């Protein structure tokens, strides 16, 4: 008897659903695309328990004919393609006919719809893919979908859903790109009666971009470019030096009115920003590309997240050039923090005052903070004085330990504003000034946190930090964590937090806050993780140290418990032996 079996329809439907619907955000994405394909001018979404128990979406689109209502829930039922050639000229967001079929097979779904020509609307009710009811109803033109008990018959998938905050974050990540693309459409999102998004139609797209992402319009550069020979048009919205992010969370690429992911295009744009942004900070950009439909394949991924582009390298080069030219010609200089007006300061809520230690001796220069890269092709040292070169390692005695060598080394200069050079008895010691400062800051901050004696800088006027909807959502669960490391914040309005105090050791508290909020499961992070993230995001780059500052940094580094790696595992000090140099110069030793 053969071993090959034909799967029953109920299993096939669940497998298909798993390919398309991974979480509530996936279902919402499919519903939004259907609404936009129906030329909706208004989309309202209401959720309960982050969509796990209830999703309701209403649009003002063209509606669905009564004769098509049942057909929509058959597999591969679509009005978008009829022939094989249509797959290569797709202009709509949805086209496979998998969305409603997949959602209905793993939920309790009710759909109501009415077209302009129908006298009444129609309602269909399905559970687990099986039709329970079909009846006429009174309603206005458009479509409504109610999804209850998502994954009720696939408990394994339901078990892997994350917290409500995490699922809401994913939902916002799905909705926001469409709000940026369709600025003439109204979008609203409610969760448990609370409004998370309410975006009115905008005539100018830059207004929608600024409002949806809560970015200052002054710092957004708008640029259009046409390439008639290639039949390509490109529209760019670029953040200048005043918009810095701790991660790549505000980077959007659209091709032919579809949000997509493309590593090559993303890389080219980020490379252009290296002209103005320090390492470990990321820009905001929105790129909208229109090209011939035959030059793009949107059918290579089950959820259409990735696309294949003809002449991808050429388009990437064009984007890099356009971005670089726009930043150099139109970017504004770095602006100071936005402070609260005098009349608003009187209404601020009370906040916790941290114990503050008196500053150290004025004769000691405080170290500056920088961002740099590690050295290569040299011997690395750990805190025990172990030298590792290739596959060989050996333990140095106390006299020859790296800490001892560094203590007696003589400062001789700085190389490309990155590496501090110290001369030892028979070797050259190089300190990565960024990695060393990061280690020093991290250990001091962690010690202050553990001792509950954080040295705090209280701001005379609070600093306003504008947040994206996703960041506000995470801040609400993480504000107590921020407080434990001395970042005292309160909610100023629904889109902004106010920073009242920050640790003296952190030079850029805004980036530190964004870095912490970008951490996965920030509410579960321990003190070590929070301190490491805060220090990583509080550094600047390209500073030329004076001799006294370099000597101060060396002394502070030697005091650290773990001086020879930064908090993220990179070496802070390397040594080049005299013998290694003699060998390179073909000198006899």
CATH architecture of the domain with range 379-438+543-584? 2-Layer Sandwich (3.30)
- Under the banding of pLDDT at 50, 70 and 90, the label for residue 355 is very low
* pLDDT for position 17: 58
Report helix, strand or coil for 167: helix
Q: How many other CB atoms are there within 10 angstroms of residue 368's CB atom?
A: 18
If one compares 197 and 531, the residue with the highest pLDDT of the two is 197
For 518-546, the pLDDT digits (tens) are 776 777 677 777 777 777 655 454 667 78
pLDDT category at 336 given cuts 50, 70, 90 is low
Domain 9-199 has CATH 3.30.565.10: yes
Lowest mean pLDDT among 97-101, 181-185, 374-378, 541-545: 374-378
As a whole-number percent, the residues of the chain with pLDDT over 70 amount to 78
Lowest mean pLDDT among 28-42, 299-313, 555-569: 299-313
Confidence of residue 480 (pLDDT cuts 50, 70, 90): confident
pLDDT band at 298 (very low <50, low <70, confident <90, very high): low
Residue with more model confidence, 376 or 450: 450
Secondary structure (3-state) at 35: helix
Between residues 286 and 78, which one has the greater pLDDT? 286
Has domain 215-330 been given CATH number 3.30.230.10? Answer: yes
Question: What is the reported pLDDT for 302?
Answer: 57
Mean pLDDT, residues 363-372 taken together: 32
- pLDDT at position 443 is 84
Q: Enter the tokens of residue 305.
A: 């997240």
* C-alpha span between 90 and 294 (Å, rounded): 9
From the number of C-beta atoms within 10 Å of its C-beta (0-12, 13-18, 19+), residue 399 rates as exposed
Domain assignments of the chain as residue spans, ordered by start = 9-199, 215-330, 379-438+543-584
121-146: per-residue pLDDT in tens?
Answer: 999 999 998 999 999 999 999 999 99
Mean pLDDT across the stretch 282-306? Answer: 79
Within its chain, how far is the Cα of 426 from the centroid? 47
- What is the pTM (predicted TM-score) of this model? 0.73
> 143, 59 in Cβ contact below 8 A?
yes
Strand partners, 465: 497
Interatomic CA distance for residues 509 and 489, integer angstroms: 11
- For residue 545 the two structure tokens come to 């140290």
pLDDT of residue 107: 93
Mean pLDDT of 318-330: 89
CB 515 within 8 A of CB 537: yes
Of the candidates 157, 158, 100, 94, the residue with the CA atom closest to the CA atom of residue 129: 100
pLDDT bracket for residue 16 (50, 70, 90): low
pLDDT exceeds cutoff 90 at 28: yes
Indicate the pairing of strand 108-114 with strand 386-389.
unpaired
Distance CA 373, CA 570 (A): 9
Q: Supply 253's token pair.
A: 């690429």
Say whether 215-330 and 9-199 share the same fold: no
Burial of 540 (0-12, 13-18, 19+ CB in 10 A): middle
Q: Say what the pLDDT of residue 363 is.
A: 33
pLDDT, greater one: 362 or 465: 465
537 close to 551: Cβ distance less than 8 angstroms: no
Q: Is the pLDDT of residue 48 over 70?
A: yes
């Amino acid at each position: 008897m053969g071993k090959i079996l034909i799967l029953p329809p109920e299993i096939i439907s669940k497998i298909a659903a798993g390919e398309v619907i991974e979480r509530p955000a996936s279902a919402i994405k499919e519903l939004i695309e259907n609404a936009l394909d129906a030329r909706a001018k208004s989309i309202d979404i209401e959720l309960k328990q982050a969509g796990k128990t209830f999703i309701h979406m209403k649009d003002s689109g063209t509606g669905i004919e009564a004769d098509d209502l049942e057909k929509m829930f058959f597999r591969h039922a679509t009005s978008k393609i009829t022939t094989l050639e249509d797959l290569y000229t797709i202009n709509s967001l949805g086209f496979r006919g998998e969305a409603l079929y997949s959602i209905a097979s793993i939920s309790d779904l009710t759909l109501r719809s009415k077209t302009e020509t129908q006298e009444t609307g129609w309602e269909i009710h399905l559970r687990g893919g099986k039709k329970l009811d079909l009846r006429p109803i009174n309603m206005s033109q458009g479509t409504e979908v109610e999804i209850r008990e998502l994954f009720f018959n696939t408990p394994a998938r339901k078990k892997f859903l994350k917290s409500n905050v995490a699922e809401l974050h994913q939902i916002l990540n799905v909705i926001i790109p469409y709000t940026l693309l369709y600025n003439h459409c109204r979008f609203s999102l409610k969760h448990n009666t609370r409004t998370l998004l309410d975006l009115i139609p905008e005539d100018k797209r830059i207004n929608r971009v600024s409002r949806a992402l809560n970015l200052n319009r002054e710092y957004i550069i708008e640029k259009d470019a046409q390439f008639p020979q290639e039949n390509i048009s490109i529209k760019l919205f670029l953040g200048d030096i005043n918009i810095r992010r701790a991660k790549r969370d505000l980077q959007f690429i659209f091709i032919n009115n579809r949000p997509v992911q493309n590593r090559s295009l993303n890389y080219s744009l980020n490379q252009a920003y290296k002209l103005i942004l320090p390492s470990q900070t990321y820009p905001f950009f929105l790129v909208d590309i229109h090209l011939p439909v035959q030059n793009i394949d949107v059918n290579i991924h089950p959820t259409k997240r990735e696309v294949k582009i003809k002449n991808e390298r050429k388009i990437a080069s064009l984007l890099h050039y356009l971005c670089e030219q726009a930043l150099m010609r139109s970017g504004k200089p770095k602006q100071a923090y936005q402070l609260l007006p005098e009349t608003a300061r009187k209404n601020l809520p009370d906040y916790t005052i941290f114990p503050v230690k008196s500053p150290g001796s004025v004769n000691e220069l405080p170290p500056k903070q920088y961002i740099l890269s590690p050295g290569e092709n040299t011997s690395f040292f750990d805190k025990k004085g172990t030298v590792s070169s290739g596959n060989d390692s050996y333990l140095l005695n106390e006299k020859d330990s790296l800490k001892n060598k560094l203590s007696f080394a003589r400062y001789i200069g700085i190389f490309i504003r990155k590496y501090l050079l110290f001369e030892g008895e028979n070797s050259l010691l190089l300190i990565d000034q960024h990695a060393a400062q990061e280690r020093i800051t991290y250990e001091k901050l962690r010690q202050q946190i553990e001792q509950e004696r954080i040295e705090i800088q209280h701001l005379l006027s609070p600093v306003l930090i504008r947040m994206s909807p996703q960041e506000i959502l995470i801040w609400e669960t993480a504000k107590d964590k921020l407080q434990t490391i001395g970042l005292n914040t309160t909610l100023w309005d629904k889109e902004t937090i106010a920073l009242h105090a920050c640790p003296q050791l952190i030079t850029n508290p805004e980036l530190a806050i964004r870095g912490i909020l970008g951490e996965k499961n920030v509410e579960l992070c321990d003190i070590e993780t929070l301190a490491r993230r805060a220090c990583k995001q509080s550094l600047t780059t390209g500073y030329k140290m004076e001799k006294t500052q370099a000597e101060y940094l060396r002394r502070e580094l030697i005091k650290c418990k773990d001086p020879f790696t930064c908090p993220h595992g990179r070496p802070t000090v390397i040594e080049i032996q005299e013998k290694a140099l003699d060998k390179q110069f073909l000198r006899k030793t």
